[in-house]
Amino acid sequence: MTRDRGPYPSLVPLYPLVYDGMVRRALQEDLGNAGDVTTDAVISPDETAAGKIIARVPGRIAGIDVAGHAFRCLDPALKFQAEVADGNEVQAGDEIAVVSGSARAILSAERTALNFLAHLSGIATSTRDIVARISAHPCRVVCTRKTTPGLRSLEKYAVRAGGGSNHRFGLDDAVLIKDNHISVVGGVAEAIRKVRGRVGHMVKIEVEVDTLKQLEDALSENVDAVLLDNMTVEMLTEAVRMTNGKAVTEASGEITAQNAESIAATGVDLLSIGWLTHSAPALNISLEFGIKL
Tell me how many degrees the CA angle 193-199-203 measures, rounded to the nearest 5. Answer: 105
Question: Contacting a second copy (CB under 8 A), which of 91, 136, 171, 244?
Answer: 171
Q: What is the CA radius of gyration of the chain?
A: 23
Q: Which stretch binds a second copy (CB under 8 A): 17-25, 85-93, 212-220, 255-263?
A: 17-25
Asked if 138 touches a second copy (CB under 8 A), the answer is no
Q: Which residues have CB under 8 Å from 97's CB, separation 6+?
A: 52, 53, 64, 67, 68, 80, 81, 82, 83, 84
Size of the site for a second copy (CB under 8 A): 120
Question: Contacting a second copy (CB under 8 A), which of 78, 118, 219, 239?
Answer: 118
Asked if 259 touches a second copy (CB under 8 A), the answer is no
Residue among 125, 114, 120, 115 at smallest CA distance from 157: 120
Nearest to a second copy of 134, 151 (CB atom) = 151
Q: How far is the C-alpha of 128 from the C-alpha of 40, rounded, in Å?
A: 40
Catalytic site residue from 36, 206, 229, 250 = 229
Catalytic site residue from 146, 194, 196, 213 = 146
Q: How far is the C-alpha of 189 from the C-alpha of 222, rounded, in Å?
A: 10
Nearest to a second copy of 171, 234 (CB atom) = 171
Nearest to a second copy of 184, 234 (CB atom) = 184
Asked if 246 touches a second copy (CB under 8 A), the answer is no
For helices 152-161 and 16-31, give the axis angle rounded to 10 degrees.
120
Question: Closest approach of Cβ 71 to a second copy, in Å?
Answer: 12
- Spell out, one character per residue from 194 to 233, where the chain touches a second copy: x when CB under 8 A holds, - when not: xxxxxxxxxxxxx---------------x-xx--------
111 carries an active-site annotation = yes
Asked if 133 touches a second copy (CB under 8 A), the answer is no
229 carries an active-site annotation = yes
Catalytic site residue from 47, 75, 83, 111 = 111
Asked if 24 touches a second copy (CB under 8 A), the answer is yes
204 carries an active-site annotation = no
Residue among 267, 231, 262, 273 at smallest CA distance from 247: 267
Q: Contact at 8 Å (CB) between 57 and 283?
A: yes
86 carries an active-site annotation = no
146 carries an active-site annotation = yes
For helices 103-133 and 152-161, give the axis angle rounded to 10 degrees.
60
Q: Give the catalytic positions in this structure.
A: 111, 146, 178, 208, 229
